[in-house]
Chains A and B, each alone.
Chain A
Amino acid sequence: MEVSININGTQQTHDVEPRTLLVQYIREHAGLTGTNIGCDTSSCGACSIHLNGEAVKSCTILAAQADGEEIKTIEGMADADGTLHPMQQAFMENHGLQCGYCTPGMVMAATSLLDENPNPSEEDVRLGLEGNLCRCTGYHNIVKSVLAAASV
């Protein structure tokens, strides 16, 4: 079936199997491999993207369900001139990443969190990231990064 999605401001149309997950669509059809897959139970959040401006787990949505919608992936966060999004910059400055595999999902979840709660407490940040797992950082510097981005 044909699925047409606006990805990072560009309309893309691809012929896919109905069972194609949105994350597969993004990675394999749109060729944007920044969005990672870390689990098969919607637990880890590595595949988080924005669907119509809100963080969702792209492994738990069919590409068909997103037909006609707008999505943003990690590739759409930095400016074309190379300036990082404030959240990306905050992760860099606070060492909020190590291996980087959970990072795109963390950044997408964290920006969505700040959209909904621009002045979160530390506890708000920890709870707001409950759906994103990281095995490297112990979360300490991720939380610090998000709080820093909130204060920008």
Chain B
Amino acid sequence: MTVIDNQTASNESIAAGNGVVGQRILRKEDPVLLTGEAVYTNDMVVPGALYMAVLRSPHAHATISSIDTSAALALPGVHSVYTGADMADQWAAPMPCAWPVTDDMKNPAHYPLAISKVAYVGDGVACVLAETDSIAHDAIELIDVNYDVHSAVIDLESALSDNVVIHDELGTNASYTWPLLIEENDGDCQKAIDEAAFVVSERYVQQRLIPMAMEPRAVVAMPQPFGGDMTLYSATQVPHILKVMTALTLGIPEHQLRVVCPAVGGGFGSKLDVYAEELLCVQLARTLKVPVRWNEERSENALATVHGRGQIQDIELAADADGRLTGMRVRLTADMGAYLQLVTPGIPLFGAFLYAGVYKLPKAYDFSCTGVFTTMTPTDAYRGAGRPEATYAIEHAMDALARKVGIDPLELRRRNFIPKESYPYEAFTGLVYDSGDHDKAASIAESLLDYAGLRARQDEQNIPGSTKRLGVGVSTYFEMCGLAPSRVLASLNYSAGGWESATVRVLPTSKIQVVTGTAPHGQGHETAWSMIAADRFGVDPADVDVLHSDTAIAPLGLDTYGSRSLPVGGVALTMACDKVIDKARQIAAHQMEANEEDLEFSGGTFRVAGSPDREMPLAAIAFEAFTAHNLPEGLEPNLEAQVTYDPPNFSWPFGTHMCAVEIDTETGNVELLQYVAVDDCGNKVNPLIVDGQVHGGVVQGIGQALYEEARYDDDGNLQSSTLAEYLVPAASDVPPITLGESVTPSPGNPLGVKGVGEAGTIGAAPCVMNAVVDALSGLGVQDIQMPASPLNVWNAIQQAQANHQETNQ
């Protein structure tokens, strides 16, 4: 195996203060996480709390004909039992979908407990409150529900036939069709296809995935019966959004609701939602005036927490004789699942703008997406959210085009790259890409992998009769990050903005407090935000504390998802720091009787230019600001500033991934021999954290390519509902990952950063699948459905051989 890199981080020998950004600083989050001291929601000790368990539908599609809760109620230790009908009049509004992508989008009313009909296996039917978790689980087994069972709707295309309509009141299973037609003149896309030297028409299926954050969800709702306040503790990545939505859905005055995320064990988009159990716990705690808690079990998580992906992609590329793209048509069918969750319908739209990847495409683009209801768990954001799907389609189709043109896939990509001189580059969509150097990223990957060497080895190894075939995969990507300019979101009908807030205060003793509206759940914001502030102020990151994830402490924010925290929240922080420094400068100038323009600020101290003996450290200014005994006329006491930053543009990380696989054609087993990722996310605040994000992202992409799939049977039962069946890869199943360094700063923000949370995942699935098909194309295999499990690979080889024999006869 490849030797693991030996770059290590340390907090010794790193200069504190200005210049700390860009260094490999150890995480301040780690000591509590490493020792068990961290408190996750389910770790909370809550005296007097009732435990909730939810009875879930065992049927994919059924009408509830009767529910008998008497046996459950009779069980000692059971406090109460509620059905959907019992609670029907308690909701001020149905569960929220914040993204009505079209004006005529169909959105069925969705309540925390189904009232008369269930629409997927796992749909909540009733809930029990009991003295212990065990009793609550015993009790749900005693609830007797009679169902009138209807046919399940699993297949997207047959769902569109409306033979079985899931939500009667809608009259159809189609939720919406959202078109994006970009042409200079009418018919340009069709014309490009008609006149193309090469046309590639492909169909790809993005299998459903289960996010499987290691911490399942958990909720504690803590009421204040007499005071009227309510605190919701939840394993969520969106405390601020959750607060607004909970207030609206339950009719709670928003100022009396506080949302807190204790330590959160990963999210990957699955905790970017407003869930039934959050609403149930709050509502029951409010009515009963006692704390109510719920913790999700893993097999319950597989049913009750959103899934990701689930798309059929029909993509047509038109290219000239050299393989340069001249037009593209994309038709998407997107699986919404049974209901629209918070941003379900908008997920494919994120991809709509990325189908040309890092390539030049004329205005000859015809995209349309239809969202379809099925009787499966609702889908929503999962790491990359729409962007991995789009990248997969273009990158896998580029390989198909390369085979058709008869050139090396890397060469085909190079011919189509947007050249670095063209940045900032206005793409066919009208969006402006901030910066990029695709040839550089590709060249670094090419040399790290030894691309040429592998191609030569491949020629030797992939000879007729060989049972170990080598494949080389390439994938490039552009990611649309930094969600998002609020005006752009408005144009997409998104119901919220994309700004982020930061507050910075220098305490009287000169320690610095940063309050951020981002809500980290593993990303290391406490460390990175400390570094940004420390860098700005010229102090030690250890003297900076970062407060977050509690709406009482950080009331303004739009949370963490879509690789937005650094390019939006981090930039807001930078601006807030600068505002505080400006104020400190006024105080320093006043105290030292100097002109503000003559003051230099470094290492945490203001100095008068040319008079090295006249200086004032931040500590002194902070205390002056606190006592307010001698401030400039009209200046408010204290050193504090708040900034809300709405980015003018998205940021555009990009990169190239390459890998080598060896396929055992006798068993269909794919072994990943080598993996190289070059992810250019602009400037890095802490390269240690950036590397970690890429490593993890890559393995989730490998997971989609080779291991993971939420499989349903024809009756709508999830067959992979535990971690024994849903194959999250382990250390023994993946290779080490070699990272290449490429830094192309974003000119769009003062930090020059772009975001990195999803990059690895976006690049990895197409890279691995391109390698798999590359290994087998010599046997006549055209494509393989993800995941490239041994069974799928073996079947594809058998099919290709059968076709071959047929052709020869």
User: Which of A135, A139, A148 contacts B214 (CB under 8 A)?
Assistant: A135
> Which chain A residues (56-110) contact chain B, with CB distance < 8 Å?
73-75, 77-78, 84, 88, 91-95, 97-104, 107
Asked if A98 and B696 sit within 8 Å, CB to CB, the answer is yes
* Docked CA distance A126–B403 (Å): 36
Could you say which residues of chain A place their CB within 8 Å of the CB of B734? 138-139
User: Which of B212, B692, B698, B731 contacts A135 (CB under 8 A)?
Assistant: B212
Q: Mark B689-701, 1 if CB is under 8 A from A, else 0.
A: 1011011111110
Number of chain B residues close to chain A: CB under 8 A? 62
Asked if A74 and B728 sit within 8 Å, CB to CB, the answer is no
Number of A-B residue pairs at CB separation under 8 A: 190
Could you say which residues of chain B place their CB within 8 Å of the CB of A138? 694-700, 734, 737, 760
Is A147 in the interface zone, CB < 8 Å from B?
Answer: yes
Asked if A100 and B4 sit within 8 Å, CB to CB, the answer is no
- Shortest CB distance B47–A (Å): 13
- Shortest CB distance B643–A (Å): 27
Asked if A92 and B298 sit within 8 Å, CB to CB, the answer is no
> Which chain A residues (97-150) contact chain B, with CB distance < 8 Å?
97-104, 107, 122-123, 125-127, 129-144, 147-148
Known interface pairs A94-B8, A95-B27, A139-B699; A133-B35 also in contact (CB < 8 Å): no
Asked if B264 and A143 sit within 8 Å, CB to CB, the answer is no
- Please name the residue on chain A nearest to B697 by beta carbon: A138
* Docked CA distance A137–B731 (Å): 10
> Which chain B residues (57-91) contact chain A, with CB distance < 8 Å?
none
> Which chain B residues (684-722) contact chain A, with CB distance < 8 Å?
688-689, 691-692, 694-700, 722
Asked if A92 and B31 sit within 8 Å, CB to CB, the answer is yes
Known interface pairs A33-B39, A138-B695; A88-B298 also in contact (CB < 8 Å): no
Name which of A32, A35, A100, A142 has the most chain B CB atoms within 10 A of its CB: A100
Asked if B523 and A98 sit within 8 Å, CB to CB, the answer is yes
Asked if A136 and B9 sit within 8 Å, CB to CB, the answer is no
Is B553 in the interface zone, CB < 8 Å from A?
Answer: no
Asked if A99 and B214 sit within 8 Å, CB to CB, the answer is yes
- Shortest CB distance B575–A (Å): 27
Asked if A34 and B37 sit within 8 Å, CB to CB, the answer is yes
Is B736 in the interface zone, CB < 8 Å from A?
Answer: yes
Asked if B30 and A97 sit within 8 Å, CB to CB, the answer is yes
Asked if B36 and A144 sit within 8 Å, CB to CB, the answer is no
Asked if B35 and A41 sit within 8 Å, CB to CB, the answer is no
Could you say which residues of chain B place their CB within 8 Å of the CB of A92? 26-27, 30-31, 34
Asked if A140 and B737 sit within 8 Å, CB to CB, the answer is yes
* Docked CA distance A127–B368 (Å): 45
Is A55 in the interface zone, CB < 8 Å from B?
Answer: no
Known interface pairs A93-B9, A142-B731; A39-B723 also in contact (CB < 8 Å): yes
Asked if A104 and B36 sit within 8 Å, CB to CB, the answer is yes
* Docked CA distance A34–B38 (Å): 7
> Which chain B residues (117-148) contact chain A, with CB distance < 8 Å?
134
User: Which of B39, B215, B688, B731 contacts A130 (CB under 8 A)?
Assistant: B731
Is A11 in the interface zone, CB < 8 Å from B?
Answer: no
Known interface pairs A41-B298, A100-B29, A138-B734; A123-B522 also in contact (CB < 8 Å): no
- Shortest CB distance A149–B (Å): 12
- Shortest CB distance A101–B (Å): 3
- Shortest CB distance A63–B (Å): 13
Could you say which residues of chain A place their CB within 8 Å of the CB of B4? 122, 140, 143-144, 147
Could you say which residues of chain A place their CB within 8 Å of the CB of B689? 95
- Please name the residue on chain A nearest to B688 by beta carbon: A95
> Which chain B residues (511-569) contact chain A, with CB distance < 8 Å?
521-524
Q: Mark B724-757, 1 if CB is under 8 A from A, else 0.
A: 1000101110101100000000000000000000
Is A36 in the interface zone, CB < 8 Å from B?
Answer: yes
Is B570 in the interface zone, CB < 8 Å from A?
Answer: no
* Docked CA distance A51–B522 (Å): 29
Footprint of B on A, CB under 8 Å? 17, 19, 27, 31-44, 46, 73-75, 77-78, 84, 88, 91-95, 97-104, 107, 122-123, 125-127, 129-144, 147-148
Footprint of A on B, CB under 8 Å? 1, 4, 8-10, 26-27, 29-40, 42-43, 45, 134, 212-216, 263-266, 268, 297-299, 521-524, 688-689, 691-692, 694-700, 722-724, 728, 730-732, 734, 736-737, 760
Contacts beyond the supplied A101-B40, A135-B212, A140-B737: 19 A-B pairs with Cβ under 8 Å: A27-B43, A33-B42, A33-B43, A41-B298, A42-B724, A43-B724, A46-B214, A74-B34, A75-B35, A99-B214, A99-B521, A100-B263, A126-B731, A127-B731, A130-B730, A132-B731, A135-B728, A138-B697, A143-B731
Sample 12 A-B pairs with CB under 8 A, ordered by A number.
A33-B40, A34-B38, A40-B298, A78-B35, A88-B34, A98-B266, A99-B266, A129-B730, A134-B214, A135-B266, A139-B695, A139-B730
